[in-house]
Amino acid sequence: MTTRRNVPGIRPYDEPAGGWGALKATAQAIRRQMDNISAPITLMRVNQPAGFDCPGCAWPDKEHRSTFQFCENGAKAVTWEATTRRVSPEFFARNTVTSLLQKSDFELEDLGRLTHPLVYDRASDTYRAVEWEDAFARVGEILRGLSPNEVEFYTSGRASNEAAYLYQLFAREYGSNNFPDCSNMCHEATSVGLPQSIGIGKGTVSLNDFESTELIISIGHNPGTNHPRMMGTLHEASRRNVPIIVFNPLRERALERFTDPQNLVEMATYGSTRIASTYYQVAAGGDAAALKGIMKALLTVERDQGQILDREFIATHTQGFDAFAASIEAVPWDRIEKESGLSRADLEAVALAYAKSNATIVTYGMGITQHCNGTANVRLIADLLLLRGNFGKPGAGICPLRGHSNVQGNRTVGITEKPSADFLRLIEETCGFTPPSAHGHDAVQAVQAMIDGNAKALIALGGNFAVALPDAQRSFPAITGLDLSVHIGTKLNRTHLLVSKEAYLFPCLGRTEADVQAGGHQSITVEDSMSMVHASAGKLTPASEHLRSEPAIVAGIARATLPDSKVAWTELIANYDNVRDLIERTVPGFEAFNERIRHPGGFRLPIPPTERQWHTSSGKAEFSVYEGIGSGTDAPDDIKALRLITIRSHDQYNTTVYAMDDRYRGVFGRRDVLFMNETDLQEHGLEHGDLVDIETVTSGRQLRLKNITAIAYAIAKGSVAAYYPEANVLVPLDHLDKECGTPAYKSVPVRVIPAAR
């Protein structure tokens, strides 16, 4: 490699992931947000039987009763919420909303926890404190004046089952199925694709399966940062010599080498364990081609030698094999190589490893779902597993890595714009009102409705709606044009500052905090990535005496909006057992809900494919036929376009930026960088450290991100990467997977040009 010029804040990080570096980073995160006395006590209560569920990620815990599991990013999530900083009404009186909107989400959230319910005062352009009941009354009055279809009810996946259930109950009694949620930007491809393939939109593996698996194929996820507790599982598998084959355009340190901070010997000897046995730097959006290549190779060996496919499983349990096989065989190898950026020999080697394994798990994340063909990608993964009967046997299955800690639970309890007829019937029978049956809006459709003037209000149960979505150029003005916005949140963010004609900010309890209602101390429940439902009870004294719980805020809005409501809001809020009883009566799988969550570890919701039962229309698992191969996002030939991936740094939780480092990728104190392949830099006449502008290749509008520093990185040629949410301005609102509506955040055709200044 040529000697590179020095670029401020860019230096290679040679350590393994985890290890001492992670311990040091944890100590720093704690020092920034908390004092040294309360922090350890708080952290000890994470994921304990009588403690609270870690808001960091949705990876399960062994029986949820392990001794304190070290996790750097879990500690960041907890201390970020349990911070001692506060943002008070006095602060808001001194700072106009317009001035605050100049700040980044990092600076805004860093101000600390919200303490009082707030209303926007247009005359002074400030938020000021308001009484809860006055605020509810006004919100109710405005909502009563709107048609239900003009209101968008957003949910971010942090909300508990109880809060989310009450929220959908309120919105449905009010008359709307408009439930845009973070899942629409995340694992919607899983929710739409997997039911077609295996009859349920969830993963099929449990933690135990990782103990007996013979092969793990990891595609498009970055567990060292986003699912840190999964590193313990991968570490164990690697030490059992289980091959771990990784497909990722970027070299991610935690997928290469990891030191388990729980492992005393490894820590003491500065040792580490390899994670990936083979690392394939697939091109962004090249997974469909890679998967087709692997399956084409398998079909070829099967034809020549036989005994590769699980013929009995295919005959008994599946449908559509012949059409599927024909569609795979029809793709020529040169197209597979071109689109995937990988060689035929590499893909054949993966096929052989797969053919040798008697139990395979495929894990995947946003690198698979956030593409124009995300749903097709998910189905191709299911196809691969079906070929060798990798469902319903120990050590095998599909493992989507969910996002927010309760995003899966939110969907289970009814946060969906397309509710099933069965669910609506049960709600009607149990609750005594008729919920609407017409489908509502998903996240992108909600913004589109705002742009078109068809939506007049946004209610948000958590999240940072406008910043998480694509295309600020179009979404920001659409939100300020609404009649009403109501945000239930813990910390200030930019969406809160996009004030509509009237705007309210309702501060809520976080998961770490004690929730005391008329019936005493309450616990809530969440569902993890492996469909385990368990209880979580906060213990800390709330950040302010004026905070209310999410269920109580939802009930407050509901009572004020629907004076004749059929729902016993006061009773439900007094004791969340009552909410759980209602969930039990309206959502299948929650029999004896209250009893079963009192057992440490909770219980698992039914996953029919684990019993080889397929709730598809044919009653069998279905192979897919996907004609495409590329990511469907190619720019016209005359433009030297690259594919832009938008990614999370190590110091961030979605739009929440904890600090400015991305240690494992060697970026310190800054986020204004573009990761580029060395050859791409050269071909663009650029050098490591040059300032560039990134411009989306779209017809019509100009979407540009200016003055970004291009840096050389081990990333697949033709793919470039920049940080989310800064790069969201480059994603056009209609650049999405038409099957599931998820924005293609991981392959935006862009051109990179020297900065105009």
Ligand X SMILES: Nc1nc2c(c(=O)[nH]1)N[C@H]1C(S)=C(S)[C@@H](COP(=O)(O)OP(=O)(O)OC[C@H]3O[C@@H](n4cnc5c(=O)[nH]c(N)nc54)[C@H](O)[C@@H]3O)O[C@H]1N2
Kindly tell me which of 403 and 440 has the beta carbon lying closer to Mo ion.
403
Candidate segments 191-199, 399-407, 662-670, 689-697, binder of ligand X by CB under 6 A: 399-407
Q: Which does 285 bind (CB under 5 to 8 A by kind): Mo ion, ligand X, none?
A: ligand X
Q: Which does 547 bind (CB under 5 to 8 A by kind): ligand X, Mo ion, none?
A: none
Q: Which does 308 bind (CB under 5 to 8 A by kind): Mo ion, ligand X, none?
A: none
Task: Yes or no: say if 209 and 361 are a contact pair by the CB < 8 Å rule.
Answer: yes
If one asks whether residue 748 binds ligand X (CB under 6 A), the answer comes out as: no
Helix spans in 482-605 (H):
494-497, 550-561, 569-574, 576-586, 593-596
Query: Distance (Å, rounded) from C-alpha 589 to C-alpha 598?
Result: 16
Task: Yes or no: say if 114 and 505 are a contact pair by the CB < 8 Å rule.
Answer: yes
* Residue 350 C-beta: closest distance to ligand X, Å: 13
If one asks whether residue 115 binds ligand X (CB under 6 A), the answer comes out as: no
Q: How many other CB atoms are found less than 10 A from the CB of residue 129?
A: 16
Candidate segments 181-189, 234-242, 320-328, 719-727, binder of Mo ion by CB under 5 A: 181-189
DSSP character string of 18-70? EHHHHHHHHHHHHHHHS-TTHHHHHHHTBT-TTSB--SS-----GGG-PSPPP
If one asks whether residue 186 binds Mo ion (CB under 5 A), the answer comes out as: yes
If one asks whether residue 536 binds ligand X (CB under 6 A), the answer comes out as: no
Task: Yes or no: say if 119 and 504 are a contact pair by the CB < 8 Å rule.
Answer: yes
Helix spans in 217-361 (H):
223-226, 228-239, 253-256, 264-268, 287-305, 311-317, 321-329, 333-340, 344-356
Query: Distance (Å, rounded) from C-alpha 522 to C-alpha 537?
Result: 7
Kindly tell me which of 186 and 376 has the beta carbon lying closer to Mo ion.
186
Task: Yes or no: say if 122 and 98 are a contact pair by the CB < 8 Å rule.
Answer: no
Strands (E), 650-718: 652-653, 656-657, 673-676, 691-696, 704-712
Residue number of the CB atom closest to Mo ion: 403
Sole residue written with tokens 């007049």: 456
Q: Which does 237 bind (CB under 5 to 8 A by kind): Mo ion, ligand X, none?
A: none
Q: For residue 306, what are the CA distances in angstroms to 302, 318, 348, 363?
A: 4, 19, 16, 27
DSSP H or E segment with residue 459: strand 457-461
If one asks whether residue 462 binds ligand X (CB under 6 A), the answer comes out as: yes
Query: Distance (Å, rounded) from C-alpha 205 to C-alpha 413?
Result: 21
**Residues 468-487, interacting with ligand X (CB under 6 A):** 468
If one asks whether residue 203 binds ligand X (CB under 6 A), the answer comes out as: no
CA 29 to chain centre: 22
Site string for Mo ion, 377-416 (x = CB under 5 A): --------------------------x-------------
* Residue 461 C-beta: closest distance to ligand X, Å: 6
Q: Inter-axis angle of helices 161-174 and 576-586, to 10 degrees?
A: 70
Query: Distance (Å, rounded) from C-alpha 296 to C-alpha 274?
Result: 29
| Pair of tokens at residue 507 | 């501060």
Kindly tell me which of 186 and 560 has the beta carbon lying closer to Mo ion.
186
Q: For residue 376, what are the CA distances in angstroms to 165, 279, 372, 652?
A: 30, 23, 9, 29
* Residue 265 C-beta: closest distance to Mo ion, Å: 35
- Cα within 13 Å of Cα(464), Cβ side: 24
* Residue 674 C-beta: closest distance to ligand X, Å: 14
Kindly tell me which of 33 and 370 has the beta carbon lying closer to ligand X.
370
Q: Which does 486 bind (CB under 5 to 8 A by kind): Mo ion, ligand X, none?
A: none
If one asks whether residue 419 binds Mo ion (CB under 5 A), the answer comes out as: no
**Residues 642-671, interacting with ligand X (CB under 6 A):** 645-648, 652-656
Query: Distance (Å, rounded) from C-alpha 345 to C-alpha 362?
Result: 21
Kindly tell me which of 360 and 370 has the beta carbon lying closer to ligand X.
370
Kindly tell me which of 365 and 718 has the beta carbon lying closer to ligand X.
365
Kindly tell me which of 189 and 314 has the beta carbon lying closer to ligand X.
189
If one asks whether residue 380 binds ligand X (CB under 6 A), the answer comes out as: no
Q: For residue 255, what are the CA distances in angstroms to 226, 231, 418, 541, 642?
A: 12, 9, 37, 38, 25
If one asks whether residue 456 binds ligand X (CB under 6 A), the answer comes out as: no
Candidate segments 17-25, 281-289, 336-344, 391-399, binder of ligand X by CB under 6 A: 281-289
Q: Which does 522 bind (CB under 5 to 8 A by kind): ligand X, Mo ion, none?
A: none
* Residue 369 C-beta: closest distance to Mo ion, Å: 9
Task: Yes or no: say if 523 and 53 are a contact pair by the CB < 8 Å rule.
Answer: no
Q: Which does 197 bind (CB under 5 to 8 A by kind): ligand X, Mo ion, none?
A: none
Q: Between β-strands 360-364 and 215-219, what pairing exists: parallel, antiparallel or unpaired?
A: parallel
Site string for ligand X, 41-60 (x = CB under 6 A): ---------------xx---
Binder among 633, 746, 750, 752 for ligand X (CB under 6 A): 746
Task: Yes or no: say if 339 and 630 are a contact pair by the CB < 8 Å rule.
Answer: yes
User: With contacts defined by CB under 5 A, how many residues of the chain interact with Mo ion?
Assistant: 2
Q: Which amino acid is at 367?
A: G
**Residues 542-601, interacting with ligand X (CB under 6 A):** 550
If one asks whether residue 464 binds ligand X (CB under 6 A), the answer comes out as: yes
Kindly tell me which of 39 and 492 has the beta carbon lying closer to ligand X.
492
Q: Which does 388 bind (CB under 5 to 8 A by kind): ligand X, Mo ion, none?
A: none
R_g of the chain computed on alpha carbons: 25
* Residue 550 C-beta: closest distance to ligand X, Å: 6
If one asks whether residue 222 binds ligand X (CB under 6 A), the answer comes out as: yes
Binder among 53, 152, 287, 662 for ligand X (CB under 6 A): 287
If one asks whether residue 252 binds ligand X (CB under 6 A), the answer comes out as: yes
Query: Distance (Å, rounded) from C-alpha 239 to C-alpha 274?
Result: 9
| Pair of tokens at residue 752 | 């990179």
Which of 613, 611, 605 is CA-nearest to residue 198? Answer: 613
If one asks whether residue 732 binds ligand X (CB under 6 A), the answer comes out as: no
Kindly tell me which of 253 and 388 has the beta carbon lying closer to ligand X.
253
Q: Which amino acid is at 50?
A: A
Task: Yes or no: say if 435 and 427 are a contact pair by the CB < 8 Å rule.
Answer: yes
User: With contacts defined by CB under 6 A, how many residues of the chain interact with ligand X?
Assistant: 62
* Residue 533 C-beta: closest distance to ligand X, Å: 18
Query: Distance (Å, rounded) from C-alpha 326 to C-alpha 303?
Result: 13
Q: Residue numbers of the site for Mo ion (CB under 5 A)?
A: 186, 403
Q: Residue numbers of the site for ligand X (CB under 6 A)?
A: 56-57, 73, 109, 156, 158, 182, 185-186, 219-222, 225-226, 247-250, 252, 282, 284-285, 287, 365-367, 370, 401, 403-404, 461-465, 468, 488-491, 493, 508, 510-511, 550, 645-648, 652-656, 724-725, 727-728, 731, 745-746
